[in-house]
Amino acid sequence: MTTTAPETLTEYQLFIDGRFVPSSDGSTYESEDPYTCASWARIADGTTADVDRAVDAARRALSGEWGRMPGKERARLMRRLADIVERESGALADVETRDNGKPFRDANAQVAYVADWLRYFAGHADKIEGRAFSDAHPNFFAYTVRQPVGVVGAILPWNAPLILLAFKLAPALAAGCTFVAKPSEFTPASALALAACVEEAGFPPGVFNVVAGSSRAVGAHLVAHHGVDKVAFTGSTATGIAVAQAALGHLAAVTLELGGKSPQLVFADADLDQATNGLIAGVFAASGQFCTAGSRILVHRDVHDELAQRLRSRAEQIRIGDPRDPEIDLGPISTGPQYARVAELLNSAAAEGAGVPKSGGVAPEVGRYFVRPTVLTDVTLSMQVMREEIFGPVVGLIPFDTEDEAVAMANDTPYGLAAGIWTRDVRRSHRVADRLQAGTVWVNAYRTNSPGVPFGGMKASGLGRENGQEALDSYLETKSVWIELADESRDPFRIG
C-alpha cells in the first residue's frame, strides 16, 4: 500500500477487553483510501496472540457481569449503542467512505441500518423463551431453556464492513453472546470506530472485541480457536469453505454468507421504466460490489433491444468520481486486487466476443481504481464474465423466449443467493419465485433488506441465515431439562 507523510494518518488501535490497545508486537500497517490511492490510516496490526487475548476476554465476559445480565439490560445497552451510532453517523460514514470508497450517501444509509439492526434485535433480547412439555413422558415434566451459544468469532469482508458486522453483532448481543470481530485487512477502520461507540455505551469489558490484522493468519487463528463457539463469516465461497472446515475441526457452529451470481429476469410485460431503474440499483450501486449484485440480466427477446438501449443510456448518466461528493453516484472499486479482477473479467468478455460499449470499461482518467458502469450484450451463459462473480459495475444481457427457459438459465449457476423478477403478472411472479434457487427473490424491486427478514444463500452462496428469527436462533443453544414427578424408584436397567 502507498505511504503518505506519517503525521497525516489517522491512528486506530485494537479493541480488546474494553480497552484500545496496540498489537502485541507493536506493529502497525497502513490502510489505503481507494479514491486517492494513498494511505489514510495507521492500524494496529493484530497477531494471533491478540486473537488469544480477545477470545480470553470474551470468555471471561460470558461468565461475568454480561453472562448474568437480564435480557432487558442487554436491550438497554443495545439501544444506547444505537443512539450513539446515530449521533456519530456522519463520522462513521466518513470512515467507511475513506476506507472503502463507498459514496458517502450510501455509507450514511448503511450506518443508519446499523442503528436499525441494533434496535430490532434489542426488542428480542428479553423475549427469549423456552417451551414446556407437561406430557412428554408419564410422570415427567420437561422444559427447554435457550442459552447463548457462547463466544462468536466474526470474519468480515471489505465491501460493506459496518452493516455486515451489524448483521452478526445485533442478534449475538440480543442472545447474550460475546463477540470477537476480525474486519477485512482492506477495511479495518469502521469496526474500530464502532468500538469507540461500544465503549461509550458502557458494555462490560470483553463483550465486544475487534482484532484487525494485515495477515490472513489472524482470521484463520480466530476460526480455529477452541475458545470460539460459533463462527459467523461473510466473504468469498473459497474462503468460506476453508473457514467452515476450520470451525468444524473444533465443532463450532457456522454460518456462511458467501458469493453470488444473481439473475434478474425481465419479462415482456414488465414496466420497463421501473425495471431499468431497479436493474441499475441491482447491479451498479456500490460499483457492483455487493454479494447480491444482479449481474445476469435475462430478458424476454421481445424487449431485449429496447432494454439494452435504455440501460446503456441510463448507465451513461451515472456520475462517477470522489465518493465524498454528494452529487456522485459511484466511487472507485474498493481495493487494488479487486480492480485488477474486474479489469481482467472485462478483457475476458471482449476476448470471448461480448459487446462492450465505448462508454463502459475501466476509467483511468477518473482515478486508478475506477470502472464505468458497463452493459455487455452478445454474451452467453458459458462466458467467464457470466459465470463468475464480478463484484464490479458490469452486467450482461441474455435473451430468452419462454418462462421455462428463463428459470433454467437463472438456476444454471453454482450460486443461489438472490434473484429479481420484473413482471406485471402477479401469477407469474409467484410461480417463478417458487422455482428460483435463491435465498432471496425480489419482485419488481432489488437490494432491499430489513433486520426482520431472513437473508442468506442456497447452494454455493452459503449456510444458514442472517437477520430475522433465524439469525437469533443461530446464536442460541437449546437445553432440555427433565424433572421426575413420581416418588418411586424406577427399574435402572429399562429406558424410562
Residues assigned a catalytic role: 257, 291
* Shorter beta-carbon distance to ligand NAD: residue 77 or 390: 390
- Which residue from 257, 287, 379, 447 is in contact with ligand NAD, where contact means CB under 6 A? 257
Residues 6+ apart with CB under 8 A from 113: 163, 166, 449
Query: Which of the residues 347 through 406 are near ligand NAD (CB under 6 A)?
Result: 389, 391
- Residue given cell 438497554 in the structure block: 76
Output the CA torsion sign for 37, 39, 45, 51: negative
3 state DSSP class of 205: coil
DSSP 178: E
Which set of grid coordinates corresponds to residue 454?
431472513
C-beta of residue 165 within 8 angstroms of C-beta of residue 189: no
Element of type H or E holding 220: helix 216-224
Q: Treating both helix axes as pointing N-terminal to C-terminal, what angle do 189-201 and 161-175 enclose, rounded to 10 degrees?
A: 40
- Decide: is 47 part of the binding site for ligand NAD (CB under 6 A): no
**Binding pattern for the stretch 283-302 against ligand NAD, x by CB under 6 A and - elsewhere:** --------x-----------
* Residue whose CB is less far from ligand NAD, 321 or 456: 456
Binders of ligand NAD: how many residues, by CB under 6 A? 30
- List the beta strands (DSSP E) in 332-439: 361-362, 371-372, 374-376, 394-400, 415-416, 418-422
Q: Which is nearer to ligand NAD, 260 or 373 (CB)?
A: 260
- Residue with Cβ nearer ligand NAD (147 or 411): 411
Give the chain's largest Cα–Cα span: 87
Nearer Cβ to ligand NAD, position 254 or 417? 417
Binding of ligand NAD at residue 204 (CB under 6 A)?
A: no
Least distance between ligand NAD and beta carbon 333 (Å) = 12
User: Is 164 or 407 the residue whose CB approaches ligand NAD more closely?
Assistant: 164
The binding track of 156-175 with respect to ligand NAD, each residue x by CB under 6 A or -, is xxxxx---x-----------
Binning the chain into helix, strand and coil, the percentages to the nearest 5 are 40, 20, 40
463: contact with ligand NAD by CB under 6 A: no
CB 470 within 8 A of CB 454: yes
* Among the listed residues 218, 403, 228, 434, the one whose alpha carbon sits nearest the alpha carbon of residue 300: 403
Residues in the chain: 496
**Which region among 133-141, 150-158, 169-177, 372-380 touches ligand NAD (by CB under 6 A)?**
150-158
Is residue 117 within the footprint of ligand NAD (CB under 6 A)? no
- CB of 391 vs ligand NAD, minimal distance in Å: 6
* Cell numbers placing 226: 477452541
Would you say 240 or 373 has its CB closer to ligand NAD?
240
Residue with cell 480455529: 224
| Per-residue contact flags (x/-) with ligand NAD for residues 408 to 447, judged by CB under 6 A | ---------x------------------------------
Q: How far is the CB of 185 from ligand NAD (least distance, A)?
A: 5
Q: 16, 145 in Cβ contact below 8 A?
A: no
Q: Which residues contact 5 (CB under 8 A, 6 or more apart)?
A: none
Please select the residue that binds ligand NAD; options are 108, 214, 239, 429, rule is CB under 6 A: 239
b/e sequence 255-280, b meaning 16+ C-beta within 10 Å: bbbbbbbbbbbbbeebebeebbebbb
| AA letter at 119 | R
Of the ranges 32-40, 230-238, 318-326, 394-402, which one interacts with ligand NAD (CB under 6 A)?
Answer: 230-238
Q: Does 219 bind ligand NAD (CB under 6 A)?
A: yes
Check residue 458 for interaction with ligand NAD (CB under 6 A).
no
Question: Which residue, 178 or 440, has its beta carbon nearer to ligand NAD?
Answer: 440
Q: Which of 197, 180, 148 is nearest to 52 (CA)?
A: 180
Residue 99, interface with ligand NAD (CB under 6 A)?
Answer: no
Q: How far is the CB of 470 from ligand NAD (least distance, A)?
A: 14
Contacts with ligand NAD by CB under 6 A lie at 155-160, 164, 182, 184-185, 216, 219-220, 223, 234-236, 239, 242-243, 257-260, 291, 389, 391, 417, 457, 462
